[in-house]
Amino acid sequence: MTATIIDGKAFAAGVRGQVTTEVERVKAAGITPGLAVVLVGEDPASEVYVGHKHRATIEVGMTSFEHRLPADTSEGDLFALIDRLNADPAVHGILCQFPVPAHLDERRTVARIDPAKDVDGLSVTNAGLLATGGDALVSCTPLGCLMLLRDQLGDMTGLDAVVIGRSNLFGKPMAQLLLRENCTVTIAHSRTQDLAEVCRRADILVAAVGRAQMVRGDWVKPGATVIDVGITRGPHPDKPGKSRLLGDCDFDSCAEVAGAITPVPGGVGPMTIACLLANTLTACCRAHGLEEPQGLTA
């Protein structure tokens, strides 16, 4: 069996196109969605991510607000900025780029953001709404995975789903989203006994542990849909001194067994920023009592 390759890059382009169309509709009502991104310090990877988010926000017609703060910014000064953004009607989404410097607390920072503007979906309020069936803003990467699964599988009722990873950022919200789709869900982790055997019974296998090529082909149920969320940089086998991106799944062996699989890169990754834009649009519509876009929420 040769798996269907799930093209996340192409799907994300479609999501961005839909967001662009919906932004034009919202603008016709006299409102421009706005996303504020806060970066504390000069982490090189974070600076790249913030640049990508800024360009993507502009490209879909939204307003981008960038706030770059020095690494020694106090918690009080950071919270004062967040408070101003919470109160600014032109800002519909707020994202603080993590990691932050060690003297700042990520949980306290997230808690300071208005849950209605928490487009990263990390607040206790949004996590609770997701768990109880409310209208949450859902963490962007799990939301992107859900969109890919819906497109690939349609109705997921009754399917066995295994999520490897139990983080607040991905594993737990992904499991909640799959429960909403009427899957039977198992959350597996580092202390799961006989992890390979647990994975073999999954119709949907989602790997998000950050261990390169951990999931092998003999862990995969024939015909299963495999979503690889991991991303690790490792040595390139054909280019000495160069590196390449690796997922949590050994792509070649898994693709021989799976029915469909996301590659790394080009699978889940492009969906994250696309869903950030979708969440900002959703937050804007909710703030102004406008009809929410179809297909861009959980």
pLDDT tens string 260-272? 999 999 999 999 9
Q: How many CA atoms lie within 13 A of 56 on its CB side?
A: 25
pLDDT of residue 69 exceeding 70, the answer is yes
Residue 102: both structure tokens together? 């060690």
Higher pLDDT, 77 or 237: 77
CA distances from 214 to 191, 200, 210 (A): 15, 14, 9
**Per annotation, catalytic residue among 114, 118, 120, 228:** 120
pLDDT of residue 116 exceeding 70, the answer is yes
**Per annotation, catalytic residue among 18, 97, 176, 213:** 97
**Per annotation, catalytic residue among 18, 53, 114, 152:** 53
What is the mean pLDDT of the segment spanning 117-145? 97
Q: Which of 248, 195, 193 is nearest to 226 (CA)?
A: 248
**Ranges of H-type helices in the chain:** 8-28, 44-59, 75-87, 106-112, 124-131, 140-153, 171-180, 195-200, 251-255, 269-287
114 catalytic? Reply is no
CB neighbour list of residue 18: distance below 8 Å, 6 or more residues apart: 293, 295, 296
pLDDT of residue 142 exceeding 90, the answer is yes
Q: Binding site for NADP(+): what residues are annotated?
A: 165-167, 231
Higher pLDDT, 43 or 195: 195
**Tokens 């490792």 sit at which residue?**
234
Residue 56: both structure tokens together? 């993507």
Q: What is the predicted pLDDT for the residue at 113? A: 98
CA distance 23 to 61: 7
Q: Binding site: what residues are annotated?
A: 165-167, 231
What is the mean pLDDT of the segment spanning 8-25? 98
The residue type of 14 is: G
Residue 244's pLDDT band (boundaries 50, 70, 90)? confident
Residue 244: both structure tokens together? 């390449």
What is the mean pLDDT of the segment spanning 19-37? 98
Q: What is the predicted pLDDT for the residue at 1? A: 63
What is the mean pLDDT of the segment spanning 244-256? 95
How far out from the chain centre does Cα 148 lie?
12
Write down all domains in the chain, each with its CATH number in brackets.
Answer: 30-114 (3.40.50.10860), 140-269 (3.40.50.720)
Q: What is the mean pLDDT of the chain?
A: 96
Q: Would you say 170 and 208 are in contact if contact means Cβ atoms under 8 Å apart? A: yes
Q: Would you say 163 and 215 are in contact if contact means Cβ atoms under 8 Å apart? A: no
- List strand residue ranges (DSSP E) for 193-298, in order: 204-207, 225-228, 232-235, 243-246, 260-261
Is the entire prediction scored with pTM above 0.85?
Answer: yes
Q: What is the predicted pLDDT for the residue at 52? A: 94
213 catalytic? Reply is no
Q: What is the predicted pLDDT for the residue at 242? A: 82
Q: What is the predicted pLDDT for the residue at 234? A: 83
Map 124-166 to HEC letters. Answer: HHHHHHHHCCCCCCCCHHHHHHHHHHHHHHCCCCCCEEEEECC
Q: Would you say 69 and 30 are in contact if contact means Cβ atoms under 8 Å apart? A: no
